[in-house]
Amino acid sequence: MSDKPFRSGMLVFPNLTQLDLTGPYEILARLPGSETLLIWKTLDPVRSEHGLTILPNATLDSCGPLDLVLVPGGAGINPLLEDREILAFLRRSAASARYVVGICTGSLVLGAAGLLRGRRAGTHWMSRDLLAAFGAVPVAERVVVDGNVFTGGGVTAGIDVALRVAAEIAGQAAAEAIQLGVEYDPQPPFAAGSPETAPQAVRDAVLARAAPRQRDRAERVARAAAAL
């Protein structure tokens, strides 16, 4: 990395999934010479979907040019799909950023901003099919890289995506040092981390709980895609 700070801008918004944000934040903020901004429309505290409150330190207007722009996911992305201010900010930031990153369903917001046309992209398994509405090529992989666009699967995959980005920025050795520093060596206690391995009853229960949110999301995606 150069002597100039590497400026990462991470969007925060009401009802985001905090690990989509805090996982990548933990990785990218450890890069030497990094400056990591949490960006929203105001500097008021933002409540995540399960109550953790996050304090932005920059606004859409004050953040300045970014080397990396990242959008996390969560239930709160649904309104963002039709938020002209946010979509314009993402288009503006992505035009000069070296890296554009979507974590979990944050990828759909990148799609609504017109940033995924013709690109391979990933997202949470429940929303993966919605990527095609934005001209993206849905990919069922934990980390998906297409040019300078990095996307991935749901929630915990954000750590994997961020490590791949860190390797691009500072080299594999630096990324490996960060991985070791946070002791990222997952050994899950259950084989239920994907729809392919989870018991059918567990999968059915998760889909049933998510059904209202997914219906609303699909409707918003259709309108956002039509507006592109």
Can you tell me the distance from the alpha carbon of 40 to that of 11, in angstroms, rounded to the nearest whole number? Answer: 6
Helix/strand/coil (H, E, C) string of 26-50? HHHCCCCCEEEEEEECCCCCEECCC
167: phi then psi, degrees, rounded to nearest 5: -65, -35
- Residue 36's identity, in one-letter code, is T
Are 6 and 31 spatial neighbours (Cβ–Cβ below 8 Å)?
Answer: yes
Residue 200 CA from chain centroid, whole number: 27
Q: Residue 23 is encoded by which pair of tokens?
A: 């996982």
Which residue(s) pair with 100 in the sheet?
Answer: 69, 149
Residue 63 a catalytic site member = no
Which residue(s) pair with 9 in the sheet?
Answer: 37, 69
Name the active-site residue from 31, 104, 157, 165. Answer: 104
- Any residues with CB less than 8 A from the CB of 201 and at least 6 apart, and which? none
Q: What is the dihedral of CA 55, 158, 115, 40, to 10 degrees?
A: 0
In Å, the largest CA–CA distance within the chain is: 53
The catalytic site residues sit at: 104
